[in-house]
Structure formats: structure tokens, C-alpha cells
Amino acid sequence: MTEATVERLRLFLIESPIKMARLQGVGNVKGTVKRVLLELTSSDGVIGWGEAAPWEVFTGTPEAAFSALDIYLRPIVLGKPVRRIRALMAELDRALVGHAEAKVAIEMALLDIVGKSSRLSVADLLGGRVRDTIPLSFSIADPDFAADLERMRKMVPDGNVIYKVKTGVKPHREDLEHLEAIRNEFGDKVDLRVDYNQALAPFGAIKILRDVEQFAPTFIEQPVPRKYLDVMAHLTAALETPVLADESCFDRRDMMEVVRREAADAVSIKLMKAGGLFEAQAIMAIADIAGLPGYGGTLWEGGIGLAAGTQLIAATPGISLGCEFYMPHHVLTEDVLEERIANRAGHVVVPDGPGLGIRVSEASVRANARVLAEA
């Protein structure tokens, strides 16, 4: 039997309106978010979808991801066997440094094709499910804190109990007031976490974080810039609250260094950092050995990227701290899926169909596309 190959590659640079501004320690977002959607078609007619969602202050720009896919990676991908995913990913790494988001878009589209062809979900291809739902974490990041508090009043009774407060953007006193307001209103009913997104300077960070500890957060995420790994280690040793590494850990090498220096108690696993689902599992395997649990982080992915993220977490036992896959339901005004991935009782429900388990709306893709490239 002839092995199926990649026959066509289409790219869409998408710009989608969002419902609310987002204040983050490393950068802010309002109005719209951009991302790149990738459609691969195999020689036997099976279509797979992928998504690249860079953020210019975190990993790169959507325009750069689009160009990387269109100019540099397209010639390598076309004609390749769809089932030889690891071999192709290694070739992409040799051909182009960086651009993790562009590469993961290709990998998830190939996994989508292979899953559909074999009638298996991507989670099955990654080793099989250990969970069918994932606790959902919503980020408190609206410039209008009162609006976020009102959202919580509606969400908590529905079972949404995990909230991650973006700190370090506003004055410290204001951060403390917001944490106090949440604890006063909801008490221990909510699982409260804080995320500085690298906002703190090393000097004085310990005093600020000890103030925050009085509100019993589950973890403190990336308090200082990623380059200060020794400071992360000092904070991890000094604080009662677990420290979670995000920007300090992009790949396996970073994970090894975090473990070696004891620079965190947990790690954020993001597909857009890792550059692949297989790579994300490899990072988590190192964390598992050291006893560090994982958290399902995100940038600004829509439904395609988050479908891949849910499949990854479903098949990866160590990613046990929930996920922040709230963008399509709570922030995007419109997603490109025919039906959004279900949220139920504060959990994301992992799609159980073949491949990524989603159906993409061609009309929505074209309506939101700013640039199209196909061959």
C-alpha cells in the first residue's frame, strides 16, 4: 500500500477581536489577537489542522511564524509521509532555528491526520488517556478588577473554582487589595494562584512575595525574569508557597537546569514554548523524575491549539495542576470551530473524536483571515 504524503499546505493569518483587555506582567493585550492557522491535506484526502499562536513579548510574532511556515518549512513538509512525524520534526529543527510555534502547528496537523486515518484521538497516539476532563483555571487579568470580580460571582457557582491573578502590573498595594477582596468574598471555595509573568526585580522580590503568601496561593508563577534562575532558586527555597517556572523553562535543556538548580517546585507546559506535543511530553518526563507537577499553560490560542493542548494533558499524567484554556469560551468573540470544546462544571472536556476531535469552520477561518497562502 502506498504511504500517504502531505499534498497541500494552506496558511491563514487570523486576527480575532477579544472581549476584554488583558494586563500581564510581561506585556498587555487589547482589541485583537493574531495567530496562524495551518491546514494540511494528505494524498489520500485527509485534512489536518494546526495552530501557531506566538506572542511578541514571549516567543515571537504571528507574522514571523507565518513567514517561517510559508517560506522555509513549506518546501520541506510537502511530499513527506504523514506518519513519519518524528523524522520530519527533526528535519525541521535542522532547517530552521527557533520558531517553535510554527513547528508545533505542523506536528499537531500531522497528528490530526494520522488520528483521523486510524480512528484514534491524538491522546491515544500519545499513549492513551489518563483523564477525560481537566480543571480550568481562569486568569484575573482585566484592567477593571471589578469586572473580573463580577465574572467570578457568576463562574464560581457553576463550578469554576481555579483563578490565577496576574500580579506585578499594578502597584503592590493594589495587588494585595485584590487578593484580599477575593479571599474575603469566596474564602477557601476558590483555588487561588498568582502569576507575575517576570514582573518583579530580584531586589526586594522576597518581601513582596511574603506579603502575597498570607492569601494562601497554590503557587506563585515566574516572579522574576527568566534569566535570573539563581534568584528563582533562592525564592523557591525561601518561600512556603510553591514556585512555578514558566518563562524559565522552554525546552528539555531548560527543564534540566531548573531541576539541577532546584529553581522551581512546578512547571508550566505550553505547546507554543515546547514546539511539539512529543517535546512537551519529554519536558514533563524530566519534571516527573524530579517530582515537579505540570500546569497546562497557554498564550493566545484558539480552539485548534487548545484542542491539541487538551489531548496532550489527557495523555500526560504529570500535568496535574489544571489548565488555563479559557480563551475560546471567555475572551475570543468568535472561534473558528463549528462547535467549541465543551466546558462543564469548571472543567475542560477533552474531545473524544479521532485526531484533535474538532471540526473547523471554513467560513469562520476565511472571515477572520488577514493573509492567506496556499499551494
CA-nearest of 186, 158, 188, 8 to 82 is 8
- Are 143 and 154 spatial neighbours (Cβ–Cβ below 8 Å)? no
The one catalytic residue among 116, 166, 270, 273 = 166
The one catalytic residue among 39, 51, 101, 324 = 324
Find the length of the chain.
375
In this structure, which amino acid lies at residue 42?
A: S
Strand partners, 140: 165
Active site residue 166: yes
CA–CA dist 303, 51 (Å, integer): 9
Return the C-alpha cell found at 290. 524530579
Strands (E), the chain: 6-17, 22-24, 27-29, 32-42, 47-52, 133-135, 137-140, 162-166, 191-195, 220-221, 243-245, 266-269, 294-296, 343-344, 347-349, 369-374
CA–CA dist 370, 365 (Å, integer): 10
Active site residue 51: no
Strand partners, 337: 360
- Are 116 and 46 spatial neighbours (Cβ–Cβ below 8 Å)? yes
CA-nearest of 285, 284, 242 to 262 is 242
Annotated active-site positions, please?
Answer: 166, 324
